[in-house]
Amino acid sequence: MKNLHILIPLFLPTLFLFSFSLSLVLSFSPSHTHLQNHCLDDQRSALLQLHHDLYYAPNFTFSSKAELWDLNTDCCFWKGITCDAIGHVIGIDLSYRNLSGSFYSIFNLHHLQLLNLAGNNFNTTLFQYEFDKLPNLTHLNLSNSCFHGQIPMEISQLTRLVSLDLSNQDSCYLRYPLPSVFKQPLKLENPDFKTFIQNLKPLTELYLDSVYISTQSTKWCEATSTVLRNLHVLSLSNCGLTGPFCSSLLRLPFLSNLFLAGNPISYLPPNFLKIKSPLVSLSLVSCNLSRYFPTEILLLPKMKSIDISENYALGGQLPEFPLNNALQILTISSTNFSGKLPESIGNLKFLTNLDLNGCNFFGQIPSSIANLTNLVKLDISYNNFNGFIPAFHRSGVPNLAYLYLQGNHLSGSIHSSLFALPSLQALDLSENQLFGEIDESLNASSSLIETLYLGYNSFSSMKLDMFFQLKNLRRLDLSNMSLSIESNITSLTFPQLEELDLSSCNFTEFPEFIKTQDKLASLDLSNNQIHGFVPNWLWKTTLSWLDISFNAIDFPKEIPFGDANSSFPMLSSLEYLDLSNNKISGAVPNWVWKKSLWHLDLSNNSLSSLDQFSLIQSQTSSQGFLARSICNLSQLERFNASFNKLSGPIPSCLGNISTLSYLDLKNNNFSGSIPDFAKATQLILLQLNDNILEGKLPRSLANCTMLKVLNLGNNTLYDTFPLWLGKLPWLVVLILRVNRFYGPIKNVKKNFQDLDVLDIAFNNFSGQLPVQ
């Protein structure tokens, strides 16, 4: 349910590049156009052709003609166009305009020095463009514009390039579904990386993130440190590079920003500490680093940003920090760092972002951390900290916006000053051992707070009306608490929430204040003691996530209740629905079957039919009564209807849902044969045990190459031993017990080498099992 960690602070490292990049492009600013003569005719003609060839296409489909400029004005004054004093176009910046089409005419502008087409949707290769016709180009940015294929050698002939950015071409393929032919990002194979950069010696900035670079071991590193001696910024994240990177890279005299995230570097060079480059920012996120990180790097005099997160086997401890350390961002989350936090962490007066989430730190949180006046985000969640929460005051941390302390062993009460922090927007104290009253704390609450998670603590019982003051509150978690609700709650006082978690709060009925929550997208009322019928007002048109499992609820049995055309016409946003472990009987209401669902759990109820209308219709459909309902769930990934009283055949359409990965129908009364799984080839778990299924196993199961668990026990299946399932590379559990399988068993050990569980008891097999 939680979508907690606000992402804004994660982009802060780019601020260190801003002042440097700005100085490179300042000469192309429109503020210099007052020195220009009028646009030359040939320059205007090329731009007019460009205007004709581009169109607005936010989804890779033609949308509308791109009206970029007022064609009745001088082209040197058009937005994104910069001219020199003579009237030659020297700069084009059409970044982030959602443009598509072609830009051939740009290559007739031979005086061009800056070209920025980043953030568009060109969706083509670069081979068709003649970059060698732009010999004066110093700045080229084609990032995030959906180019794919080999990077052409012509770009490497631009010998005046100072800044080159071809990064993140794969990002647009995450935004929009495309045919597989278009899903190859840029790559450097022929020419290879060394050949490509050999003429680019003036480069000061090189961004090739998510470009596949074909190279062996450290050759990319050696080539870089030999050829690109003027580099200030090197960004090669997610390029498939292997390591370690060579120590000579850290001797580049101007290198200040080094980003190598997402490459399997594995370990650092032995002389990593002998850094001679003036490093300001270092990113080694998810590089499979292990052993011990030399934390002296944190003490480098100019170092401002370090991110070594998601290196799970990388150990280390924080050093003692001297006064006026330059660090602004320190991210070591999801590593094996341990030890106590030094009190000297309070010397990091410039620190804006400290992320130690998911490490092994212990001890008390140093009180000095509450005096970091520039701190914006503090995340020390999921460690082993104990003791009290430091006294955070508005004068000590006036800029603190995001505070995450969940998943520790913190105790004591909450100081009222915590809720009075002037910039606080998100606070997560869940999963600790906090206790005491919370009413007085909220009396000083901040009007800015949007996210408040207090669940799984030991607070005294509280009243929901204490949250009325938090007018900007959007996400609230009070799970596993003893709550009381005042009867006078009105829509005029309680804030409009988007996420609400009231699980395990001992409610016996649905809280009526939810009736006035018109923006609710996520609601968790699971593990309460709610009984009776579900009220119609619970079904918000905005709901995408609903969990009301582990209660004692049911649905009204009147046919109009579940009619998608009457009571519930607007549940089109529902994606996650958990109704498990209740007392729902009879048929599943028709409104449940929403096309938007990817997760549906109906298990552990008393359901007798999956289709509400099967009780009044002729039972002659070969598809079962599910065909007009669940068969439309084209995005379904997880479906669990186990432990019910369902009967009849399993609808064959389940085998045609290509997104399906978990299917659990065990402990029902399904009969007939197992359907073919012609398209449901992404299955990871399939449990059909404890039914009355018969016939042979569908050979299409061999197409389910992701399958890990297959449980068909306690049926009446009649077939030979499925040796052909040995082709499934991930299969670890195979249960065929209590069926009518027959015939010899052979080559089990050879064909099922990775099986952890094989249960074939109570069948009619012959032969001998291999000795383990």
Beta-bridged to residue 283, according to DSSP, are 259, 307
Whole-angstrom distance, CA of residue 252 vs CA of residue 226: 9
Whole-angstrom distance, CA of residue 329 vs CA of residue 480: 34
Whole-angstrom distance, CA of residue 94 vs CA of residue 111: 17
Whole-angstrom distance, CA of residue 153 vs CA of residue 190: 8
> Judging by beta carbons within 10 Å of its beta carbon (0-12, 13-18, 19+), is residue 190 exposed, middle or buried?
exposed
466-485 pLDDT, tens digit per residue, is 787 788 999 999 999 887 76
> How would you classify residue 627: left for phi > 0, otherwise alpha for psi between -120 and 50, otherwise beta?
alpha
| CA distances in angstroms from 192 to 131, 217, 415, 521, listed in the order given | 18, 13, 60, 49
Q: Is residue 299, in this structure, part of any structural domain at all?
A: no
599-601 and 638-640 strand pairing: parallel
Q: Is residue 478, in this structure, part of any structural domain at all?
A: no
Percentage of residues of the chain with pLDDT beyond 70: 86
Q: Is residue 727, in this structure, part of any structural domain at all?
A: yes
The amino acid that residue 209 corresponds to is D
Q: Is residue 344, in this structure, part of any structural domain at all?
A: no
Mean residue pLDDT of the chain comes to 86
pLDDT score of 24: 41
For the chain, how many structural domains are there in total?
A: 2
| Domain stop point among 187, 214, 241 | 214
> Judging by beta carbons within 10 Å of its beta carbon (0-12, 13-18, 19+), is residue 260 exposed, middle or buried?
buried
Q: What is the pTM of this model?
A: 0.86
Q: How many helices (H) and strands (E) does the chain have?
A: 7, 54
Cis peptide before 191 (omega within 30 of 0): yes
Q: Is residue 159, in this structure, part of any structural domain at all?
A: yes
Whether 46 has a pLDDT exceeding 90, the answer reads yes
Q: Is residue 446, in this structure, part of any structural domain at all?
A: no
330-371 pLDDT, tens digit per residue, is 999 999 999 999 999 999 999 999 999 999 999 999 999 999
Whole-angstrom distance, CA of residue 481 vs CA of residue 431: 12
Residue 167: give the domain boundaries: 8-214
Q: Is residue 311, in this structure, part of any structural domain at all?
A: no
Local structure of 466: helix, strand or coil: helix
Least confident interval from 42-56, 285-299, 429-443: 429-443
User: What is the CATH classification number for the domain harbouring 721?
Assistant: 3.80.10.10
| Domain stop point among 214, 235, 259 | 214
Q: Is residue 60, in this structure, part of any structural domain at all?
A: yes
| Domain stop point among 214, 233, 253 | 214
Whether 617 has a pLDDT exceeding 60, the answer reads no
73-129 pLDDT, tens digit per residue, is 999 999 999 999 999 999 999 999 989 999 999 999 999 999 999 999 888 888 889
Whole-angstrom distance, CA of residue 609 vs CA of residue 607: 6
Q: List phi, psi (to 5°) of 363.
A: 90, -170
Q: How far apart are the first and last CA of the chain?
A: 44
